[in-house]
Amino acid sequence: MDASILLVGSDVFRLALLRLLSELNPFSIEVAPNLQEALPLIQAQQPDLLLIQASQQGSLSLCEQIKSQNRLAWIYCFVLEDTANPAFQPRIDCSELVSENAIVPSVRQRHAAALAAGADAFLEVPLLETDPQGEWRALIRAQIQAGLRQVRTYRELIRTNDLLSAIALLDPLTELNNRRAFEWELPRQIQNARQREGLISLMMLDVDHFKFINDTYGHLVGDRALKVLAARLRHNLRFYDTPFRYGGEEFVLILNETGEQEVGMIANRLCQIISAQPFTIDETLNLKITVSIGAATLQPEDDPKGISLLQRADDRLLKAKSQGRNQVVSG
């Protein structure tokens, strides 16, 4: 299906619109007799286009409610009324636009009120009358197509933004999340841990004597070593632990549901796994690489952004390096 549409209105209104829509491209169409039944469908299915009978009580309030929610605001709200219906009354609330002496607001005033309330489009046409020239049908058809173009444009922008965001948060060398991603993720993980009264720990990991590798073998070898290290981290962590490349040869790992004693055990295991097997750079070069690790666990007094938690892990990493490297310092 090219698009999804929700029709909200009386039986006569919905039947007239269904006939019109059948002449257009195929759509996924849902119907609702009133706004009370429409709202759950909107929340659950998020249709591309919402076509509402203007005389439905609260029609503009529904548009306003949709536009106030970020996850729904892109839905195209088309408010339509059938002026040929014997029960037609211009019920759009124009109290702010009509003088006290006016009995019935004009079409322009009703149009302005609808757009001010959040409707993307507003039309009054004689749906129940014959349309030999196809004028009002063409008008409705054009408005629906314009709305769908707007929705498609929005979706393309979202896909582009999602792609750019993913690129911005990814380290291109190791294909791990980068420092920016870490600085966004850590406060969120801390908040979640505190809400559920859970545990969270950090590990800061640094490749020992990495400058020597670059100076001796060149930066391409150094890059290859970092890629191998990233792969070992991914393969030897639990699925709910998250590694990040913090910068240069430094990595940081967020470990959920992990206390002080457990993070020390995990860090020591990683340290041993990394040092035990040489890093295969190419067919002729294998390197013996070790890492130093500092580990820390979230405490009640730590700030919500995780600055103090990260600082403790970093201090312990420096201590591990000063004590001879290829070791872990934890709480």
For residues 94 and 104, is the Cβ–Cβ distance under 8 A? Answer: no
Superfamily per CATH, domain 179-329: Reverse transcriptase/Diguanylate cyclase domain (3.30.70.270)
Task: Give Cα 146 distance to the centre of its chain.
Answer: 26
- 231, two tokens: 């792969």
In the chain, ranges of CATH 3.30.70.270 domains: 179-329
127: which residues sit within 8 A by CB, 6+ positions away?
13, 16, 17, 82, 84, 85, 136
**Which of the residues are catalytic?**
249
Q: What is the pLDDT of residue 1?
A: 46
- Long-range pairs for 222-230 at CB < 8 Å and ≥24 separation? 222/249, 223/173, 224/279, 224/281, 224/282, 225/279, 225/281, 225/287, 225/289, 226/173, 226/174, 227/173, 227/174, 228/279, 228/280, 228/281, 229/174, 229/274, 229/279, 229/289, 229/291, 230/174, 230/175, 230/176
Backbone angles phi, psi at 166, to 5 degrees: -65, -40
In the chain, ranges of CATH 3.40.50.2300 domains: 3-166
- 78, two tokens: 């088309």
This prediction's pTM: 0.58
Fold of 3-166: Rossmann fold (3.40.50)
- 304, two tokens: 């919500």
pLDDT digit string (tens) for the chain, length 331 residues? 468 899 999 898 888 888 888 776 667 889 999 989 999 999 888 999 999 998 888 888 888 889 888 888 889 999 988 887 766 665 555 444 444 444 456 777 777 878 887 889 998 888 877 877 788 888 888 888 888 888 888 888 778 777 777 778 899 999 999 999 999 999 999 999 999 899 999 999 999 999 999 999 999 999 999 999 999 999 998 888 999 999 999 999 999 999 999 999 999 999 999 999 999 999 899 999 999 999 999 999 999 999 999 999 999 999 999 999 999 999 7
Backbone angles phi, psi at 156, to 5 degrees: -65, -40
